[in-house]
Amino acid sequence: MEKKVALITGGSRGIGKSVAEKFAKNGYNLVINYVSDNTDTNKLSEELKNIGDIEVLFVKTDVTNYEDCENMTKQAIEKFGRIDVLVNNAGITKDGLLMRMKQEDFDRVIDVNLKGVFNVTKTVIPYMMKQKEGHIVNISSVVGVTGNAGQCNYSASKAGIIGFTKSLAREVASRNILANCVAPGFIKTDMTDVLKDEVKENINAQIPVKRMGTAQEVANAIFFLSSEENTYITGQVLNIDGGMVM
């Protein structure tokens, strides 16, 4: 049987890498997007192929560039002939109180986190429409629901992703394409490693399960939403936050 294919943006580190590992374990061929020069694609390819008997295509592309995203999707189709799952995971933070936030820090976060989701999804959706099936999972955040001081740019981008996903879910449901969001709370990755220890302790104290989540815990939920097990859930936001937001 033809292997299924998952395209994961920002799949080189953190949550995206765990998502790639989860799909590899389940026999999906992978398209892994990343942007920086630090990514050792040979090492990552070996790690993923040790997990599953799969093929991996790496595409270095900044998701803010529409033409490059179009090209990435074309490369994926040329290599694998289909895209069954899209996980829009690439994201950045540039935190600061609004009083001090620079315009360029607002624009860049919106560009990567929200416009990036538009760019990649728009280039992938025609192929899913033709296939008459597909799963899309976009990574929002609990702060897209609750807001967070110091993150006007980030929380606006993550709230935008929720609106985008719900609208998309309505547009494509009749073609058997399901689109959902996950909203992680605090997850141990490079993104949260920058926080000071006392801030982390303070955060843990506010989480009902009393610890940060792991990237694997987020990947498990993303896999469920985008696997064949999910045939009837669309337009939803699933919090993965140890009970922070109820």
Residues interacting with ligand NAP, by CB under 6 A? 9-10, 12-16, 33-36, 39, 62-64, 89-92, 112, 139, 141, 184, 186-187, 189-192
Q: Is 154 annotated as catalytic?
A: yes
Q: To the nearest whole angstrom, how small is the minimum distance from the Cβ of residue 52 to ligand NAP?
A: 20
Assess contact for 86 and 120: CB atoms under 8 A. Answer: yes
Closest contact distance (angstroms) between CB of 143 and ligand NAP is 7
Query: Which residues are 187's β-sheet partners?
Result: 213
Closest distance of CB 92 from ligand NAP, Å: 5
Nearer residue to ligand NAP within complex by CB, 91 or 134: 91
Q: Of 190 and 228, which has the nearer Cβ to ligand NAP?
A: 190
Give the shortest CB-13-to-ligand NAP separation in angstroms: 4
Report yes or no: 238 and 182 within 8 Å, Cβ to Cβ: yes
- Closest to ligand NAP by CB, 129 vs 195, is 195
129 or 207: whose CB is closer to ligand NAP? 207
d(CA 65, CA 122): 12
Q: At closest approach, how far in Å is the CB of 229 from ligand NAP? A: 22
DSSP string, the chain: -PPPEEEETT-SSHHHHHHHHHHHHTT-EEEEEE-STT--HHHHHHHHHHHSS--EEEEE--TT-HHHHHHHHHHHHHHHS---EEEE-------B-GGG--HHHHHHHHIIIIIHHHHHHHHHHHHHHHHT-EEEEEE--THHHH--TTBHHHHHHHHHHHHHHHHHHHHHGGGTEEEEEEEE-SB-SHHHHTS-HHHHHHHHHHSTTSS-B-HHHHHHHHHHHHSTT-SS--S-EEEESTTS--
Nearest residue (CB) to ligand NAP, 129 versus 191: 191
Q: Which residue is catalytic, options 28, 34, 127, 154?
A: 154
Active site residues: 154
